[in-house]
């Protein structure tokens, strides 16, 4: 039997509280990426205004740096997902360096499967909205199958789809509802924290907008393990409790 939605939310939260120290170095990397991105925005304005560099050179350089930051963010997220598997299975957790080393092989397959699923979703949505939604749930766990099972792209699609066979709605609700709950928590924090800062420090409009943007990035990074745990717990619940379809009887 699949884990219930309430159990999924509760266990995700409990696991987050128990294991956040394991994720802390990776969250620090994500926050570092956030800081660098903000400085790059100002650096681009400065270089265009006060140097003789062409706009094309500046834009191309910044684009390459942003691409490198995206890949580092993806790599970090994949490392966190792999660690969550080890924690869930009570396996030894590799150190910070080894986590990145072991998860590096998932970067290219993850990008390729994401592009393939994106194409499938686009084609499904062009036909009609419903097929796109169906495909989204079917192939939601393809990346996780690559990481957890070491599967190829095509095999991961099959594994992901098999997790939903005969229980598409049950899986869909369990994928979506916990994320809605966690997102609402994010929204509440994004409403309360800037209000407190504004009440105490009375920053200017420009500073306030910058503070809100920085808080948004910080909270996004800090709440990421909640979303990961929700996916991991559901993945292994579905894997450990496959739906057995009775064979047709011959009369």
Q: Is residue 90 part of a domain?
A: yes
Which pLDDT band, with edges at 50, 70 and 90, does 250 fall under? low
Distance from C-alpha of 55 to C-alpha of 41, rounded to nearest angstrom? 14
**Mean of pLDDT values over 193-209:** 85
Mean pLDDT of the 20-47 span: 88
Share of the chain above pLDDT 70, in %: 96
210 is a domain residue: yes
With respect to residue 250, please indicate whether it lies within any of the assigned structural domains.
no
Q: Say if 246 falls within a structural domain.
A: no
Q: What is the DSSP string of 186-217?
A: HHHHHHHHHHHHHHHH---HHHHHHHHHHHHH
Contact 147, 85 (CB under 8 A): yes
Q: How many structural domains are present in the chain?
A: 1
- Host domain of residue 205: 5-240
* 94 three-class SS: coil
The pLDDT of 111-116, averaged and rounded, is 94
Residues 5, 178 contacting (CB under 8 angstroms): yes
| 57 located within any domain | yes
Q: Is 164 a member of any domain?
A: yes
218, 34 contact by CB (below 8 A): yes
Shortest CA distance to 59 belongs to which of 40, 44, 46? 44
The predicted pLDDT at position 246 comes to: 55
Q: Which residues contact 8 (CB under 8 A, 6 or more apart)?
A: 174, 178, 230, 233, 234, 237
What's the first-to-final CA gap in the chain, in angstroms? Answer: 30
Over 70: is that where the pLDDT of 244 sits? no
Domain assignment present for residue 245? The answer is no
248 occurs within a structural domain: no
Instruction: Using CB atoms within 10 Å of the CB of residue 198, give its burial: 0 to 12 exposed, 13 to 18 middle, 19+ buried.
Output: middle
């Amino acid at each position: 039997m699949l884990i219930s939605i309430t159990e999924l939310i509760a266990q995700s939260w409990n696991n987050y509280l128990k294991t956040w120290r394991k994720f802390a170095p990776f969250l620090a990397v994500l926050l570092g990426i956030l800081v660098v991105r903000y400085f790059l925005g100002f650096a681009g304005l400065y270089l265009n205004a006060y140097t003789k560099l062409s706009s094309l050179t500046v834009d191309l350089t910044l684009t390459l740096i942003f691409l490198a930051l995206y890949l580092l963010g993806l790599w970090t997220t994949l490392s966190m997902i792999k660690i969550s598997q080890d924690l869930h299975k009570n396996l030894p957790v590799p150190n910070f360096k080894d986590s990145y080393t072991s998860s590096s092989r998932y970067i290219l397959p993850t990008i390729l499967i994401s592009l393939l699923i994106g194409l499938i979703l686009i084609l499904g949505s062009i036909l009609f909205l419903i097929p796109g939604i169906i495909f989204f749930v079917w192939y939601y766990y393809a990346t996780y199958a690559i990481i957890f099972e070491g599967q190829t792209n095509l095999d991961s699609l099959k594994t992901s789809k098999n997790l939903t066979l005969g229980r598409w709605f049950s899986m869909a609700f369990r994928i979506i509802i916990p994320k809605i709950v966690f997102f609402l928590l994010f929204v509440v924090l994004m409403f309360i924290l800037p209000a407190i800062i504004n009440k105490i420090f009375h920053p200017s409009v420009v500073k306030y907008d910058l503070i809100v943007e920085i808080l948004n990035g910080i909270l996004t990074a800090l709440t990421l393990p909640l979303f990961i745990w929700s996916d991991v717990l559901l993945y292994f619940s579905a894997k450990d409790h496959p739906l057995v379809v009775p064979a047709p009887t011959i009369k």
